[in-house]
Amino acid sequence: MTARSETALERALPPANHDPGRLQQAMRYAALGSGKRLRPLLTYATGMLLQAPLPRLDAPAVAAELIHAYSLIHDDLPAMDDDDLRRGRPTCHVAFGEATAILAGDALQALAFDHLAHDTAPDVDAATSLCMLRTLATACGAEGMAGGQALDLAATGGDLDLPALEHLHALKTGALIRACVRMGALAAAADAATLATLDDYAAAFGLAFQIRDDLLDVEGATATLGKTAGKDLRQGKPTFPTLLGMDGAQRRLHEVTALALQALAPFGAKADLLRDLAHHAATRAR
């Protein structure tokens, strides 16, 4: 599925030919780097669990990755997390300049919705397309990634309790992950009960992913992570290790990973790919 998502992503992006402003080059630079493609994989795995035809999953999987790429460009900007390394190479604003990077992020976000709205997969009805668009839009806005980033900026240099920290990351990190899973289920015409069960999985998955990210910021190395290690501590960001300690953060990681796996119990062995992704999110080295 990684190769399929890579091919679909390449096809969706504009060519870099005749690009004097270097906007298309910056878009491709940000989107086609050596990313994990975890979000498309979640969309594919969920749809496959529910027997959605693969062509129905291509557009939402690509749209999710385009949104993720846009968010990384903007997260790395000097006004946000101010980082100069992403996926083992200079961040987009370092490589192309701050103005072009901002525009590339804007353009990737617009392209995500355009691509999803013009999905040509067979049997994707208008109501399903609209629901996917609303799902992705909600994940991006004030009740999703943008809201979480605002909370993150406001909390820098301060303290948060555990519920507040988990709420911040349910928006900043978790909202797009939940959207990926939901869009995969919508492509399979899942009923309300199934959507709710898979949302429980995705919410726990997103939290586990973030806790592991916080742990890696402390114990990982820049060369392995492909981004600057130790940055959260230097910037005074509230994290799970600073709040709970390394052992406490690891315990919370185990707890939420167990919740994600528990949510998949009704699906039996058919959900093994989603289980594998949850284990990977909790144990990854980058």
Tell me how far the alpha carbon of residue 210 is from its chain's centroid: 10
Chain segment 61-81, per-residue pLDDT in tens: 999 999 999 999 999 999 998
What CATH code is carried by the domain that includes residue 169? 1.10.600.10
Comparing 79-83, 260-264, 266-270, 280-284, the range with the smallest average pLDDT is: 79-83
In this prediction, residue 47 carries a pLDDT of: 97
Average pLDDT score over residue span 97-121: 95
CA distance 13 to 227: 24
CA distance 143 to 210: 18
Range of the domain at 139: 2-283
The residues, ordered by sequence, that sit 6+ positions from 22 with a Cβ below 8 Å of its Cβ are 96, 100
Chain segment 164-192, per-residue pLDDT in tens: 999 999 999 999 999 999 999 999 999 99
Average pLDDT score over residue span 104-119: 96
- Residue 214 clears pLDDT 80, i.e. is over it: yes
Chain segment 217-253, per-residue pLDDT in tens: 998 777 666 677 677 778 888 999 999 999 999 999 9
Pair 164, 216: CB distance under 8 Å = no
Q: pTM of the full predicted structure?
A: 0.95
Q: How many domains does the chain have?
A: 1
Pair 197, 250: CB distance under 8 Å = no
Chain segment 22-73, per-residue pLDDT in tens: 999 999 999 997 778 999 999 999 999 999 999 999 999 999 999 999 999 9
Average pLDDT score over residue span 79-90: 89
Average pLDDT score over residue span 194-211: 98
Angle made by CA atoms 266, 163, 237, in degrees to the nearest 5? 120
* Token pair for 234: 């230097």
